[in-house]
């Protein structure tokens, strides 16, 4: 194939790829949060520090890590002036200038016994079966 025929064949493909790339740049990001959510988050940060919340605990043979308020904190590490002194399976202990904090992974659990009379009955509907021939 000579050079001119190759250029004539490749040019339409290159132009098609360039137009597709230009179109893709103008599409909105579907994962971007709405404008109000970003502004609300910034306003919440200005109000002051939120309480420390234990979100996850990673316990391994060689290391223990807690996720506190979105921050990875290794055992002995610190977050907002508190040092992580103990990592349990579902709780952590932090020591700081205001004393000791115990954070639990799960909040208080309320157990209730449910009586059968409290559960609404299941309604069964008759289904019409169609048999093929």
Residue 40, pLDDT above cutoff 90: no
Half-sphere exposure (Cβ direction) of 125: Cα atoms closer than 13 Å: 3
- Report the predicted TM-score, pTM, of the whole model to 2 decimal places: 0.48
| Higher pLDDT among residues 71 and 43, named by residue | 71
Task: Select 51-104's CATH number: 3.30.300.30, 3.20.20.140, 2.30.30.830, 3.30.9.40.
Answer: 2.30.30.830
Each domain of the chain, given as residue ranges in start order, spans 51-104
d(CA 4, CA 110): 79
For residue 59, pLDDT over 60 is answered with yes
Distance in angstroms (rounded) separating the CA atoms of residues 49 and 69: 10
Task: Give the confidence band of 23 by pLDDT, cuts at 50, 70, 90.
Answer: low
More confident residue, 53 or 128: 53
| Residue 121 token pair | 């009955």
pLDDT score of 109 more than 70 = no
Residue 92 pLDDT > 70: yes
Question: CA neighbours within 13 Å on the CB side: how many for 118?
Answer: 4
């Amino acid at each position: 194939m000579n050079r001119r025929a190759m250029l004539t064949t490749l040019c339409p493909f290159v132009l098609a790829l360039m137009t597709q790339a230009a179109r893709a740049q103008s599409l909105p990001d579907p994962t971007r949060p709405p404008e109000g959510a970003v502004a609300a988050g910034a306003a919440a940060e200005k109000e002051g520090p939120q309480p420390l919340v234990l979100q996850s605990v990673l316990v391994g043979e060689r290391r223990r890590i807690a996720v506190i308020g979105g921050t990875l904190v290794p055992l002995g590490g610190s977050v907002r002036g508190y040092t992580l002194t103990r990592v349990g399976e579902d709780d952590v202990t932090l020591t700081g200038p205001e004393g000791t904090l115990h954070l639990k992974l799960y909040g208080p659990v309320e157990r209730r016994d449910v009586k059968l009379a409290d559960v609404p009955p299941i309604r069964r509907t008759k289904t019409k079966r169609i048999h093929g021939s």
